[in-house]
């Protein structure tokens, strides 16, 4: 399994939210993530889901990953503009 995932770097270039950009940059280098090699592909393991990391960037894959980011607790906390009061 490579330690670099170009798909996430391409996503980084398109993302506007600075906190999500940082998360995407970390994912591009396999930092703070659970990425496994399964069935001949790299898979990002999330809270209740997984995302098959594409070898190359496509708009369809980016749209799919954005939906994954929006539904995952892990990414919502990075992209949320509303902070919960304790």
Which of 7, 13, 47 is closest to 27 using CA atoms?
Answer: 7
Given the DSSP bridges, would you call strands 41-45 and 35-38 parallel, antiparallel or unpaired? Answer: antiparallel
Where along the chain do its domains lie?
6-75
Taking each helix axis from N to C end, the angle separating 59-71 and 6-14, rounded to the nearest 10 degrees, works out to 80
- pTM, full prediction: 0.79
| pLDDT tens profile 32-80 | 889 999 999 999 998 878 999 999 999 999 999 998 888 876 665 544 4
């Amino acid at each position: 399994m490579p330690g670099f995932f170009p798909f996430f770097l391409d996503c980084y270039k398109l993302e506007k939210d600075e906190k999500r950009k940082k998360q995407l940059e970390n994912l591009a280098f396999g930092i703070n993530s659970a990425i496994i090699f399964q069935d001949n592909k790299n898979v990002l393991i999330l809270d209740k889901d997984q995302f098959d990391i594409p070898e190359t960037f496509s708009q369809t894959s980016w749209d799919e990953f954005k939906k994954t980011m929006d539904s995952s607790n892990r990414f919502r906390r990075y992209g949320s503009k509303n902070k919960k009061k304790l």
